[in-house]
Amino acid sequence: MESYTFLSQASLAATMMAATACTYVACTPPHPNSGKPTQTNDFISTLNLTQKHNIKILLAPLCILALHSSILALFYPHIPPGILGYGAENGPNTDLLTWSAATTIPLALILLAGVPLRLISYSSLGKNFTFALTKPDRLTTTGIHRYLQHPSYTGVVILIVCNIALFARADGVASCWFPQEWVRFCQAVRPTSIILGLSMLAFAVWRRVQEEEDMLRSEFGAEWEKWHARTARFIPWVI
């Protein structure tokens, strides 16, 4: 029984680290910007998210939380006090440290949807995939772009939401980092934080999409209009 438990926990820890590594790759620019940005003040550039090193800094907290979560999962249920930290008094949610719906669903979405959508977009667009808003040398309407106009944004939303659900919950690894009063406060404001966070994410994606579509419409005209009319933006046959 103990051997089975160890293998189960080890597989969860390994899957967590694999999902984090894949997220890192899928959120890192595949190559330097191929040309001069069309707009130096586009929304993503304004947030300073077009440079590879800045993205590494942004992803660093995720990597730290994921590593700690993986270690907790590996040692569960016999977690050393030095690793557990404030978790000894807070009591982290064990659903986030074992194979459960709370871990299986986000991990599956990351590895089977979010990451593939990003990497397929990298491959399909080639050098035209840039984080800074840059005019492409062609309009790509084949492959995954036959069904979706912005598959990479669908992928990045999945990655952001699922990684937060796995590693940024107050009753998860964060409960090992902060005293009980802070954890209780975070849990109390959780509904508001979720609504605010999702609203900000939706605004950021929509703003970027509008800037990109305005550029493509200006560059490719009727060709883009026809493709835009027959394909979905984010989810095939839905939206």
Could you report the per-residue pLDDT of 58-112, keeping only the tens digit for each? Answer: 899 999 999 999 999 999 999 999 999 999 899 899 999 999 999 999 999 999 9
Q: For position 4, what pLDDT does the model report?
A: 78
Which of the given ranges, 1-10, 28-37, 81-90, 94-103, has the highest pLDDT on average? 94-103
Helix H segments across 28-97?
43-46, 52-75, 81-84, 87-90
Find the mean pLDDT for residues 157-183: 95
- Tell me how far apart the alpha carbons of residues 44 and 55 are, in angstroms, rounded to a whole number: 11
Average pLDDT over residues 31-35: 57
- In angstroms, how far is the first alpha carbon of the chain from the final one? 47
What are the sequence ranges of the domains in the chain?
Answer: 2-230
